Structure 1
Amino acid sequence: MDTATPSPAVRAATGDVSPSRVRIESIDLLRGIIIVIMALDHVHDFFGALDASPTNLATTTAGLFFTRWITHFCAPVFFLLTGTGACLTLQRMSKGELSRFLLTRGLWLIVLEVVVMRFALQFNVDYQITLLTVLWALGWAMIVLAGLIYVPTSALIALGVVMVAGHNLLDDVQADAFGPFAPLWSVLHAPGFVHTGAHAVFVAYPLLPWLGVTALGYALGHSYGWSAERRRTLLLRLGLGLSLGFVLLRLLNMYGDPQPWSVQHSPLWTLLSFLNTQKYPPSLLFLLMTLGPALPLLCAFDANTPRLLRPALVYGKVPLFFYVLHFYLIHLLAVAACYLRYGDVSGMFRSPDLGHFPFTAPPGWDVGLPAIYLLWACVVLALYPLCRWYVGLKRRRKNWWLSYL
C-alpha cells in the first residue's frame, strides 16, 4: 500500500519535498528487506525436503533452523506495516474513502490467494487441496480494519493488545467443542481444515492474532505525525521493551507459547529451543520475538537509509507485485530442475494432500542449503528489473488499479 506524508514533520524526516505524494523511506526499506528475506523461505519450500520440519530439534540442523527462524520476522512485520500504511493513507483519503479501499483491497487479496496464488503454488486447477495463508489473512485484516478505523485510537490499541497478548489463553480450546461451528474456530484461532473431502481447504493463518497486529500497526501510524525525535524515541523504547518482554516471559516458561523451552545437550541447541516459538497461530512470544527487533530497525532507518540497503527500497515499494511474481519464478525453476534431474515433471503438478504440498517431490529432492541460498539470490536479483520498472510505472501513472498490485 502506498504511504503518504502525514505532516511537515514527516516530510522533513524523509527529506522529500514533493508537493503531492511522499513515501516514507524507512517503511519501504524495512518492508523491502522483509519481502526479500521471505523469498528465502519460499525457495526452501520448493527446493528443500518437503517432509522435514526445519524447527523440529530432533531432526533439524542449526543452519536449517536459523534459515527458517530469520524468515519468521516477515509475516509479523508485514501485518504491522499494513496497518501503519493504512493510517498514513488517511493523509490523502477521507476515512470513508479509506474504509472502502481497505474493504475492496481486502476482498481482492482473498481472490488472489484462492485463484492466482493457489495456481502459483501448485500449477494445477483441481482444487484437491487449498491452503489459506498470508494473503488470505491480510485480506481479512484489511476488511476488519475498514471498520476499526472508526474506533478511537486508545480503544483500538487496547483491542489489539488483547488479541495479541490474550489469544494464548484459548490454546486449550479445541475446535471440536464447537460442533458444527468447528471450522469457524480454525478460521479464528487454531489452524485446521474448514472443509474436507475431494476438495479440502486448510487454514494455516488463523485470524485473531494477525488482526491484533494490524490494528496495532494502524495505531503506530499516528506517530508519523509527530516530530522525528519523538517518533524515534517511541520506536526504540517500544522495540527494546518488546524484546525484553520476550526474554523475560520466555525464561518463565509459564505463558505466551504452547511449547516450553528446555535445556539441551549444548548451549547452541538450548538457544534453539529458547527461540523455537509457535507461528501457527503466532504466539505472543513469537510476536514479541519478531516485532521487538523490527521496531529499533524502523527507528534506525527513520534517521538514515544505508546506501548498501537502498536496492531494497525497490522491493518495498511494490511488495505485492514481487510476492506474486517470485512464487511463479520459484515454481518454474523447480519444474526445470526436476526435468533436468529426473526427466519427469508429472509430480510437479500434483498435490493431493498436505503431505504432498506444494507438489509431489521425487525421492532425494532436497538440494541442500548452499544451493537454496544461491537460488534465493538468483530469484531476488532476477526480479529486481521488473520491480524497478513497476515502481516507475506507478510513479508515472495514477490509474486506480495500480494501487491493488
Structure 2
Amino acid sequence: MKRISTIDTVRGLVMVIMALDHVRDLLHMPALTQNPTDLSTTTAPIFLTRLVTHLCAPTFVFLAGTSVYLSVQKDAALYATGDNDGRSLAERSRFLLKRGLVLVLLEVTLINFAFWTDIQFRSMMLQVIFVIGVGLVLLSWLIRFQVRSILIAGLLIVFLHDLLLLVPPFTNQSARLGWALLFRTDFFAVSPNFSLLVAYSIVPWFGIMLLGYGCGPLFAKPIAERKTQLIRLGVGSLALFLVFRFLNLYGDPVPWSAQKNGLFTVLSFLNINKYPPSLLYTAFTLGIMFLLLALFDGSRSGLARRLEVYGKVPLFYYLIHWYLVKGAMIGMVLLQGYSFSDMPLGPMSFGRPAAAGVTLPVVYAVWLALVIILYPLCAWYGRYKAEHPEVAWTRYV
C-alpha cells in the first residue's frame, strides 16, 4: 500500500503547532502561574494560542492508529505474495509490541529529561508518547480482530468514557494511581523528592487511536471519494460538538456559561476539557482534523510538501524539538541576567526562575525560529531513513 502523503502533511502541521504550545509553556511570562484556559485570569490571545494547540494530540494519536492499520495492510499484502519485505501476523504483532515499549521507555527517560533537565529524575510526567506507546502494545494484540470491531470499540470509549467522571475520587493511593493511569488525569506527590503527573490517561486516548485504526480503510479509497467522506466526517463531528455543547448536558465536565462579554462567552463555549479528552474535545479536534485531511488530500503545494517533511519523521521531530525548546528557555534565563544556580530544580520544576519570561509575541518569534531550525534536520533524517532501510533502529524513531 502506497504511503499516504496527506497523513504526513497533516501530522506535520499539528507537530509544527505543537511546538508553539511547548514554547509558550516554558518561555511565556505568565505560564508558570496562569492557566491559559482560566477565563477569570486569561486573555483572548493567550486562550486562542492554547486552543489552536488542542488540535495536536488527538490528531497525533488518531493518525498513529491509522498508520498502524496501513502498515499492517502493507505487510499482509507483501507477505501474501512471498515478498521478503512482508511480515506475518505474529511478526507484525511483535514489532508493534517492541515499538510500543520503546516509546514508553523514551517517555520516561529522554523525553522527561528534556522537560525537567534533572539528572535525579525527581519529576515524571506521562504524556502523549506514553499513551501512544501503550496503545501500540495493546494494538499488537488487537490487530487480530476485524477492523469494524476495533472501530466500534473506539466509538464506545469516546462516547461513553465521560460517564466515568461520575465515579468519586479514590482515597486508596494504589487504586487512585490505577484509576489515573486508565481514566483520569491526576497528580501524585509521592515524596518530597518525587512527583508524578499522569497527564494522559490510557483508555480515553486509546479510544482515539482505535478510531484512527478503524478509519484506516478510508485511505484505500480513490482520492475524490475519500475527500468527500473526510468532509462528511469533519462536518458531522463539528455538528455533534455544536449540538451537544449548546445543550450543556453531556460530553464535557465543564459547562459553558455567559461571561463578562460576548467574546468571553464564545471562549467559554470553546473551553473544552483535554485532561482527559472529553467527547466534545474529541469531536471538535477530530472534526477539524478530518477537514484538514480533505483539504490537503492529493495536494502537492509547496506548503504541503514542507509540512510533509516534518510529518514523515514525527518521533525524531518530537525528541529534538523538546531539547531545542528547553535550550531556548535556558538561553532566555541566562540572557535575562540569571545564572545556572538561579534555576530551581526539583519536583515539577522546569528550572525557570519565577520572574523570568518573555511576552507572547516573542513566544511566537521563538517558535517560528525553532520550526525553521527543525526543517533541515527533519529533511536530513527523512533522507537517511529512506536511503538506509537496513538500519534497524530507524524503524523505531
TM-score (norm 2): 0.92
* Structure 1 residue 37: Cα displacement: 0.3
Q: Which residue of 98, 101, 104 maps to 2:98?
A: 104
Deviations 1:53-107 (A, max 9, x none): 1000001010000000000000000000000000110213433222212111110
Work out whether 1:83 is the aligned partner of 2:51.
no
The secondary structure found in structure 2 opposite 1:231 is helix
Identity, % of aligned positions:
40
CA distance in 1, matches of 2:360, 2:88: 48
CA distance in 1, matches of 2:104, 2:235: 34
Match of 1:39 among 19, 44, 54: 19
Structure 1's 152 and 179: CA in aligned 2 closer, same or farther, altered over 3 A?
Answer: same
Aligned to 1:323: 318
Corresponding residue SS for 2:197: strand
One-letter identity of the residue aligned with 1:214 = M
Distance in structure 2 (CA, Å) of the matches to 1:168 and 1:77: 20
Which of these residues, 117, 120, 123, is aligned with residue 126 of structure 1?
120
The list of structure 1 runs, each at least 4 consecutive aligned residues, that deviate by more than 3 angstroms after superposition, is 177-180
**Other-structure match for 1:367:** 358
Tell me how large the CA RMSD over aligned residues is: 1.5
Determine the C-alpha separation between the residues in 2 that align with 1:159 and 1:178. Answer: 30
Residue pair 1:186, 1:194 contacting (<8 A) in 2 also: no
Q: Provide the TM-score with structure 1 as the length reference.
A: 0.91
The answer to whether the 8 Å contact 2:296/2:304 transfers is: no
Q: Secondary structure at the match of 2:163?
A: helix
Q: Map 1:220-369 onto structure 2 (within 5 A).
A: 220-348=215-343, 350=345, 352-354=346-348, 357-359=349-351, 361-369=352-360
Q: Any stretches of 5+ residues in structure 1 without a counterpart?
A: 6-21
Corresponding residue pairs, total:
381
CA distance in 2, matches of 1:395, 1:84: 21
Superposed CA deviations along residues 377-403 of structure 1, whole A, max 9, x for unmatched, are: 011101111111101101101122111
SS at match of 1:256: coil
Cα distance in 2 for partners of 1:185, 1:95 equals 32
User: What SS is found at the alignment partner of 1:303?
Assistant: coil
Could you say which residue in structure 1 is the equivalent of 2:82?
Answer: none
Q: Which amino acid aligns with 2:16?
A: V
In 1, the alpha carbon distance for the partners of 2:199 and 2:33 equals: 17
Correspondence for 1:61: 43
Q: Report the Cα offset of residue 242 of structure 1.
A: 0.5
Determine if contact 1:235/1:295 at 8 Å carries over to the other structure: yes
Distance 1:387 1:288 in 2: 31
The residue type equivalent to 2:284 in the other structure is M
- In structure 1, distance between residues paired with 2:150 and 2:112: 33
Q: Is the counterpart of residue 167 in structure 1 residue 161 in structure 2?
A: yes
Query: Residue 336 of structure 1: CA displacement?
Result: 1.5
